[in-house]
Amino acid sequence: MKKKRKTSEKRLLKVAQKPSEMAKKLHSFYKGKIEVVPKCQVKSLNDFSIWYSPGVAAVCTDIYKKQDLIYEYTNKGNSLAIISDGSRVLGLGDIGAQASMPVMEGKALLYKYLGGIDAYPICLGTKDEQEIIQTVKILQPSFGGVNLEDISQPKCFSILNTLRKECSIPIWHDDQQGTALVTLAGFINALKVVSKKAHKVKIAMIGAGAANVCIARLLILYGVNPKNVVMVDVKGTLHRERFDLKSCYEQWSLAIDTNGNDIRGGIKEAIVNADVVIALSRPGPEVIKKEHISLMAKNPIVFTCANPVPEIWPWQAKEAGAVVVATGRSDFPNQVNNSLGFPGVFRGVLDVKATTITDTMCITAACELASCVPGNKIKPDKILPTMDDWKIFPKVAAAIGVKAIKEKIAYRKLSYDEIYENAEKIIKRSRQVTETMMKKGYIKSAKYKI
């Protein structure tokens, strides 16, 4: 049995390493993943008198007189800035702005292909909190929204909170809100599998970083009893006497509001009798052990989402009694993948010209995403849709757009069907453009198999 397991683990390791090997070859082949191409026709050089000088002066004058016309005359309403300082990249840590560029380009590709959104990677040569805030604020005229990415804590909390208050365009931190949204969607359907209620379950949250802090906030807003949540960081459980957390408002608030039974200790103590484990801590395996899972309540749910290796291997969690297991990996069932959320979220908020993205909007989007798996299709190994079903993105766009309108933070008043049809058309076009360029050879075929 042990020999078989070691063979299985070696196979999984080999599979996990293949994308890294191919990434080097293919990134070099394409010299990056995105480019800028025209969206207007150029039949002759005379057209530049319209698209540029002198004709463009009339358009500029109109915008000067009525600022909102920028959305009518330019691509601002479909443009997104992906801002990072490279201080906390994909489990690689503080690798700096230049080394983070491939990640941000990849994010831009996902936004375009899955959401039809023109996203631009902007990697900053500063890690100063105030400089990042000021940079985002002065970039507002050029973009319809901003995606903050891979910024270390605790500054990621204050940067997001400040910008949400002081900017007139929606600001989103995908490591917080994106992860929380998709995790909540999976949580909603996982509870259906085991026939448990959100307000009654006990949850052990392993890790108290940006992602889990935001997940905890959304879970509580959704209906989870905060007293039934026990969070664990590298120093142990969060509780009222964790005065070392006072310097971070978000973590200190959770230390005060959660852990109603004042559980002290570490991972093991937090997990005892828990119905759900949500782990976003450090790569495993054996951060969480099989014997920990066996201490959980009946029919437990286990989300172990560290990358590239989850805190416990899924088969080990199931051997220990877990009914539903989710990870952050695509080679196991139930992948908790941010890409299920952010393309639709921004498609919706851009199309209704929302000024911000609230937590209640995130919950609405999570519920819509959860509903994309029909009730009769929800199973222990199927609690979330996959990116293959591209119709989930216009659905999320429509749901979050309507919620923004109801919350009176959107300038455009559209119905669910109008937002959905518009989003579907834009996303479909984006996919077709990419496919046509591939067929025509404008995007060359790589010599390597992916």
- Among 317, 233, 298, 240, residue whose Cα is nearest residue 267: 233
Q: Which of 107, 155, 202, 395 is catalytic?
A: 107
- Among 113, 96, 133, residue whose Cα is nearest residue 33: 113
Residue 114 to residue 112: CA distance in whole angstroms: 6
- Is 113 assigned a catalytic role? no
Under 8 Å between Cβ of 303 and 219: no
Residue 386 to residue 331: CA distance in whole angstroms: 12
- Is 107 assigned a catalytic role? yes
Q: Which of 30, 52, 73, 448 is catalytic?
A: 52
Cα 347 to its chain centre, rounded Å, is 14
Residue 403 to residue 207: CA distance in whole angstroms: 31
Residue 420 to residue 417: CA distance in whole angstroms: 5
Residue 405 CB coordination number (10 Å): 19
Strand intervals (E) in 165-321: 171-173, 203-206, 229-233, 236-237, 276-279, 301-304
3-class SS at 295? coil
CB within 8 Å of 83: residues ≥ 6 apart: 122, 124, 132, 135, 136, 146, 147, 148, 149
Residues with catalytic function = 52, 107
